[in-house]
Amino acid sequence: MSAESPVQWSDHERLLLEERVAAAELAWLTLDVDVETLRVEIDNFALVHHRLLGPLYASLDELDALIAETVAARSGDPEALRRASEARSRVAEPDDPAAADLAPEPPAAAKVRPDRDAQRIYRDLARRAHPDLTTDPAEQERRSAFIARVNEAYAQGDNAALEELAGEWSTAPESAPAPDSPERPDWLLRRLEWLTARIGQLAAEQVRLERTPMGELLLLAPQEPERLLEELAEQLLGRAAERRAELERLLGGADPQGPHSGGRHNGGEDPSQHRSRPDSQENPTMFAQALPTTDAASVPADAALLDVREQDEWDAGHVDGALHIPIGQVIARLGELPDEKLYVVCRVGGRSAQVVQYLVGQGREAVNVDGGMFAWEAAGRPMVGTDGRAPFVL
C-alpha cells in the first residue's frame, strides 16, 4: 500500500476498479476512433463540396451581379447602384498569382519563456520518459514520440498541455504496477481519472465538429454524401436557371451568355416520363447551363464516356466500354480520366452537368450528355447490364 493511500482495498473492490478502468478504456478508444473518423469525413466532404459546388456558387454570384447591374443601368437609381456595387463585390475574384507576392508577411510569432512550473514539469518528464532510459527499440520509439510532444508544449509555454502530458505518462499502461502490487489501486484511480477527462474532451470535440457548417450538412445524409451533393447541385442549377431567365427578361430576351454558349437538345422523349427514382430530385429543366452539351443520339460511338452515377444505377444498365466513377469520387480519381474529350453522363443530366462544369474549370474538354441515360435509352443507343442481366435505367 502506498504512503499516500492508507485505504485498504478488498479483492472485490480492486476487481470492480479494474473492470471500471477496462470499460473506460474501451469507451475512450471507441470515441477516439469515432471522432477522428468524423473529422476525416467532414474534411473530405468539405473538399468535394468546395471543388464541385464552388463553380455553381460563383455562377450564381455572377448572375446576381449582372442582374443588379442591369437594373441599375436602366433605372439610374442611387439605391440600385449601391446594390449593384455590393453584388459585384460578392463575386469571387479570380486567383491572381501576383497578388500572393504583394500579400503582407504574417507577423513573427512572439517568443515564449516557459515559467518555473513548466520547467519543473518538463524536467520531471524528461527524467522519467527519456528514450535513453530503455534499450528496447519499440519502447524507444514510443518515448521519442512522447518527448516530441513534451518539447512542443514546453516551447509554447503551455503549462496545461504539460500537466496533461504528465498525467498521461503517469497513467499509461506501460507504467502500470503489477496486478498484485499494493500500488496498483492508486494507479487505477489515476488512470480512471485521466480516461474520464479524455472522454469528456473527445465528446466536446465531437459536438463541435457536428455543429460546424460542413458537419451539420454532412449529418443530413451521413450514409450518402454523394447523393446530398447531387441534391445541392440540383438546387443551385435550378436557382441559376431562374436567375438566367430573369436576366434574359431584363435584356429583352437576349442570351446573356452570347450566341456561342451552347444550347440544349432533346435526344428523345422527355426523360421525366421515364422511370424515376424516389430518392432523387433530378429535374431536366434544372440543368440548362452555359456548358458544352450534346444530345445522346449525337455522342460518337467511339467517344470516351464517363458515367458518374452510383453503383446500383451502373449495375442496372450502362454503356459498354464507359468509364464508371461515381460523382463523389471524381476529384480523387482525376488521374484515371483519359486525356481526350470526355462525354459525361448520369441518370438525367444534373450530376453530369455538375462534373462537366468542374472539369471545364480544370481546363479539361468535357461535354454534358443532355437527358442522361434516360435520353440514351430513348434514342435507342445500346446498353448492357451487369452479369448479363437485361439492362434498364434505374
* Cα distance between residue 272 and residue 103, in whole Å: 51
Considering 346, 348, 353, 369, which one is annotated as catalytic? 346
* Cα distance between residue 226 and residue 237, in whole Å: 16
Cell digits of residue 333: 480519381
Integer CA distances (angstroms), 347 to 130, 312, 358, in order:
61, 12, 18
Indicate the SS3 state at residue 325.
Answer: coil
Strand partners of residue 293: 368
Instruction: Report which of 361, 362, 326, 332 is spatially closest to residue 344, judged by C-alpha positions.
Output: 326
Q: Determine whether 61 is an active site residue.
A: no
Which positions are catalytic? 346
